[in-house]
Each structure stands twice: as C-alpha cells, then as structure tokens.
C-alpha cells in the first residue's frame, strides 16, 4: 500500500509545502526580500531543510518541543519558523519589544532550551532568559555557520498537519500572557481562505509584510504570499514612508495595513502621499483593531474603489470575517461576512443565540481555530464551547448576516447603570477633521460609577476644543455616552500591532483617582 494511504489520507498539509512546491516549479524566482537581501525559492527551501536538520540533529530538539524565537522581522524569520516546524518543533515567538520579565516568562512557559535570537537582541536575551535556555543561536553570528554544517536532505522527523508549528503569546489584557498553539493545518487553510477572499495571492502577485512576525497575523501575512508562489518583501519595522515606497517600487498587489498605519499615512502632508503610485494594489487589507468609518472613506479615496478589505479575527481564531470592497461604504463600521469554512454566532451569556440585530458575544467555528492554550487546560475550556471559540468581542449581525463589532466585552464602560461601548464614542470624535487618534475609557466616578473620558490626539497644525468635540457627541449620541472629559494628549499607548491599549488609558485614569 502506498505510504500516503497507510497514513489514512493524502499527505498532510505543512506550512512549508507551498514553498517546496514553488521551489520545484520556479526555483530561481525570488520568494522573499528584506533590506536589499533576497532568497530564491530554491534557496529558501534548502535553508528550511537545513534549519530542520540543525534543530533535530545539531541541537537535539525533539518532536513536540518548543524553541524560542526572539527577533524583529527579518529574512531568516521565515526559514527559522518553517524549518523548526519541519522538525516538529514549535516556535515560541517573542516580540522584539518584549520586556525582561516577558522574555523570561515565555521561555519558562514554553520550556524552550534553545533560543534563536537576532544579534541586536542577543544581550537582552542573555540577560533575561532563565537558566533552562542553554543555547543561543544568534542570527548574523553563529547561525550561518551552523546552517552551513547542517544537512540539506529532508529532515527524518515525521510531522503531521495537527502538529503545532508556532506558539504566539496573547498580549495578556487580563492576567498572564497565554501561549496560543497553532497547528500547520489551520494555518495552511487560513492561507487558502485568504487567497479565495482577497484574490491577491497568486504566483504573479507580490506583497509587503510589515506587521511583526512574532504575532499570529503578522506571520500569516508574510507566509501566505509565498505559499502560492508569489513574492513578499518583509520590512524589519513599521515606517509609513518605507511601506508606501516599497509598495510603489515593487508594484506590490497587496499589503496588510493596520489602522495605526493608515492613521500615520493620513497624518502625512497631501503632497507626500501623492508621490506614491498605488495602482498596482489589488488589496489593502486592514485588521487587528477597529478601522473608523471616517478613515475607510479616506482609504477608498486614496487607494481607489474596490481595494479595501477589513478583516476581523483573533490569534485563537485566525481569520474570521472579512468586509469586501464592494461593501465598504454600504455597511458602516462593519467587519463583514465569515471567511470560507467559517461560521459565526452571536450568543447571550447562557450560550443561546440572540435575535438578529441584538448585541451578544461573538463565537467563531472554523478549521483555522487554535489547538488550545499551552499548559492552560482550564483557560482553553473557559474560552471554548465544543467546536466554537468564544471571542470576548461583543457584536451584532444584520439581516444579511453581516457582523458588526461593538467592542471588547472587557472595555465596556458602565456609567449611571448604562452600557457604553467606547468605539461608538471614538467614531464620532474621529470624524472631526482635526482629530488624528482617539481612545475612550472609563474613569472611576463616585456618582456615575465610571465617567466616559476621551483621549484625543490632534493632527499636526490643526485644532479643536473640548466644547466642539463634546458638542458633536451631544448631537450624535445619547446623553449618557457624551464624554465627561476630553484630554488632549501627544500620543496614545499602543502595542506592537498598533492597537490602542485602552486598558492603559483606564489604568491612567484609575491611578489619578
């Protein structure tokens, strides 16, 4: 009997399969670029095989173990994660801005004995890692020599599509960070679903990836373009001018541009923006955080109609819903319809579906879901109901089934006994032409319980007063939602994906009593 039948089915889907297929089909085509360096498909596939053998034979890591990866985005990131996965070793990924305690925590929680680290972060890594990490492989130092010594033949470890290839950590909004176990199968199917939805991932397409690859979405956005034989240019860090210049120079057809990036784009002078030719773009995909309607309209104006997608997902669900370009101006503040193979439900606290139009918690079921939190069976059980992941996001659906995210359940403000969703207030303030950014949180208040407070960043050279902004809110919102205070600030606290950290705003307010 052929091997593939003995295993019960056709060959398993592994995250490097697409790269290997393209190495057979277009070996000399450049797959990946970063800072003027590049790798063809043949070289990338060969280096993935070498990393796998290094991990397995050279470093002695076993199937089912984890090793840490601590680096900013770079050319080597892809081959390291893919190569480790070929040896059945999952990458516990650490963001380049992680603090000492975070580095230590991830190493301990994942049980990593080995860390792949960039030269720039080596010192921080050695200072913070627990003694259980006994080996540091430094990209830009001993890494190349070790690769040169490793075999290029396929790694002998048998890996299945259900094996975990990476463990990104959630940002830990509540309590300690949780390691989200992602399996090959879910990631590959996410790539297929993205290709079907966005139509910008064929072998003639090219993408720019700028979001950090330690994050689940950041890695997926770098992998998907080369899964199908296209090209990707990876930017080591976010910078709006280099992102836009790279898209224009490469004639890129897609990019994942999060709301903070769009905010940076529209903060630039008009003349600057006008210098970049965006006609090659097929898809500007936003996600990770709410994209205010006022910004969507500017994006459609700048990139042209038919290009903006807004998608919603979490590290645990991977991609979940997508709002297609044709609906951007028709469905307001909406994250669209489920991706292929995905189902959503809006449920009450008892897990019963609420009536259409009513607000409840969003549940997601798909083949892309995570394989549980590492070492946390209780948290996994608390976050799942059978085949469903309970997202912690409040949402409603309209008659056509489109999903509208209302807000994070934990960010809801309760003032005078009324529920207030910060996002609704932020949208109104952001529609003011002088406002660049806005974050709303509740301040402790002896009478109201919480008082709605808005933090506002103004566009350079423009002005607005508190009275003007509260006036707009009074016109657009119920009285109890109008901010009791507007604070003008130079910037908002954000995480590495550019998400506004409302919990920090809330902590600031609480600290001031």
Mutual angle of helices 216-227 and 184-198, in 10-degree steps: 70
335 binding ligand AMP? (CB under 6 A): yes
Q: Which two tokens stand for residue 47?
A: 């280096």
Are residues 144 and 119 in contact, defined by beta-carbon separation less than 8 angstroms? no
190 binding ligand AMP? (CB under 6 A): no
309 binding ligand AMP? (CB under 6 A): no
Alpha carbons 337 and 123: distance in angstroms, whole number: 46
- Through-space distance between the first and last CA atoms of the chain, rounded to whole angstroms: 72
Rounded to 5 degrees, φ, ψ at 392 are 85, 5
66: nearest Cα among 16, 114, 118:
114
Q: Which two tokens stand for residue 277?
A: 């030719």
Q: Which two tokens stand for residue 321?
A: 């819903």
| Closest to ligand AMP by CB, 169 or 192 | 169
| Closest to ligand AMP by CB, 335 or 435 | 335
Q: 199: Cβ–Cβ under 8 A, 6 or more apart, which residues?
A: 282, 283
310 binding ligand AMP? (CB under 6 A): yes
Q: Residue of minimal CB distance from ligand AMP?
A: 315
**DSSP bridge partners of 117:** 70, 138
Binding window for ligand AMP (CB under 6 A); candidates: 69-77, 297-305, 310-318, 437-445: 310-318
Report in angstroms how near the CB of residue 288 gets to ligand AMP at its nearest: 5
Binding window for ligand AMP (CB under 6 A); candidates: 119-127, 229-237, 309-317, 341-349: 309-317
> From the list 165, 169, 201, 312, which residue makes contact with ligand AMP (rule: CB under 6 A)?
312
Report in angstroms how near the CB of residue 95 gets to ligand AMP at its nearest: 11
> From the list 289, 359, 376, 379, which residue makes contact with ligand AMP (rule: CB under 6 A)?
289
| Closest to ligand AMP by CB, 81 or 405 | 405
Report in angstroms how near the CB of residue 217 gets to ligand AMP at its nearest: 6
393 binding ligand AMP? (CB under 6 A): yes
| Closest to ligand AMP by CB, 203 or 315 | 315
Report in angstroms how near the CB of residue 258 gets to ligand AMP at its nearest: 9
> From the list 315, 419, 466, 508, which residue makes contact with ligand AMP (rule: CB under 6 A)?
315
User: How big is the site for ligand AMP, counted in residues (CB under 6 A)?
Assistant: 18
197 binding ligand AMP? (CB under 6 A): no
> From the list 231, 366, 391, 496, which residue makes contact with ligand AMP (rule: CB under 6 A)?
391
Are residues 103 and 115 in contact, defined by beta-carbon separation less than 8 angstroms? no
Q: Which two tokens stand for residue 330?
A: 């028709």
- β-sheet with 37-40: strand ranges across: 37-40, 30-34, 231-234, 206-209, 254-256, 283-286, 308-314, 318-323, 337-338
Q: Cα separations (Å) of 495 from 103, 173, 349, 474, 503? A: 16, 11, 29, 31, 11
| Closest to ligand AMP by CB, 56 or 506 | 506
Alpha carbons 262 and 250: distance in angstroms, whole number: 20
Report in angstroms how near the CB of residue 259 gets to ligand AMP at its nearest: 8
> From the list 58, 96, 212, 290, which residue makes contact with ligand AMP (rule: CB under 6 A)?
290
Report in angstroms how near the CB of residue 339 gets to ligand AMP at its nearest: 13
Residues that bind ligand AMP (CB under 6 A): 170-171, 217, 287-290, 310, 312-315, 335, 391-393, 405, 408
């Amino acid at each position: 009997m052929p091997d593939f039948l003995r295993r019960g089915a056709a060959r398993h889907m592994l995250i490097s399969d697409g790269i290997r297929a393209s190495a057979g089909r277009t070996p000399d085509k450049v797959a990946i670029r970063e800072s003027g360096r590049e790798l063809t498909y043949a070289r990338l596939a060969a280096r993935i095989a070498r990393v796998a053998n290094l991990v397995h034979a050279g470093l002695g890591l076993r199937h089912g173990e984890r090793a840490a990866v601590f680096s900013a985005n770079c050319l080597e990131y892809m081959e390291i994660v893919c190569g480790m996965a070929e040896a059945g070793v999952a990458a516990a990924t650490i963001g380049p801005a992680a603090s000492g305690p975070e580095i230590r925590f991830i190493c301990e929680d994942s049980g990593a004995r080995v860390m792949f680290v960039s030269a720039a972060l080596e010192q921080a890594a050695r200072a913070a890692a627990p003694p259980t990490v006994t080996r540091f492989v430094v990209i830009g130092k001993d890494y190349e020599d070790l690769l040169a010594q490793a075999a290029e033949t396929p790694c002998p470890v048998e890996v299945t599509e259900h094996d975990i290839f990476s463990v990104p950590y959630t940002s830990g909004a509540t309590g300690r960070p949780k390691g989200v176990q992602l399996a090959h199968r879910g990631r590959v199917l996410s790539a297929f679903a993205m290709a079907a939805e966005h139509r910008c991932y064929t072998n003639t397409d090219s993408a720019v990836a700028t979001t950090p690859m330690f994050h689940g979405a950041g890695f997926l956005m770098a992998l998907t373009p080369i899964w199908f034989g296209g090209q990707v240019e990876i930017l080591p860090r976010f910078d709006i001018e280099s992102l836009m210049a790279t898209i224009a120079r490469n004639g890129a057809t897609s990019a994942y541009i999060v709301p903070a990036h769009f905010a940076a784009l529209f903060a630039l002078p008009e003349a600057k923006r006008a210098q970049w030719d965006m006609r090659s773009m097929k898809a500007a995909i936003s996600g990770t955080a709410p994209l205010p309607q006022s910004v969507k309209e500017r994006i459609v104006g700048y990139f042209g109609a038919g290009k903006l997608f807004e998608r919603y997902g979490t590290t645990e669900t991977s991609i979940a819903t997508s709002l297609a370009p044709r609906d951007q101006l028709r469905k307001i503040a909406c994250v669209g319809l489920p991706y292929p193979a995905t189902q959503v439900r809006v449920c009450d606290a008892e897990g019963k579906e609420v009536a259409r139009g009513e607000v409840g918690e969003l549940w997601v079921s798909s083949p892309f879901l995570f394989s549980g939190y590492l070492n946390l069976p209780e948290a996994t059980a608390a976050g799942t109901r059978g085949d469903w992941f309970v997202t912690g996001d409040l949402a409603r659906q309209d008659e056509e089934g489109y999903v509208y995210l209302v807000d994070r359940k934990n960010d809801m403000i309760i003032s005078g006994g009324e529920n207030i969703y910060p996002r609704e207030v932020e949208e109104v303030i952001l529609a003011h032409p002088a406002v660049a950014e806005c974050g709303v949180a509740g301040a402790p208040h002896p009478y109201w319980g919480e008082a709605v407070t808005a933090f506002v960043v103004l566009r350079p050279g423009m002005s607005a007063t508190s009275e003007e902004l509260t006036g707009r809110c009074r016109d657009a919102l119920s009285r109890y939602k109008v901010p009791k205070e507007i604070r003008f600030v130079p910037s908002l606290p954000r995480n590495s994906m550019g998400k506004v950290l409302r919990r920090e705003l809330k902590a600031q307010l609480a600290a001031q009593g």
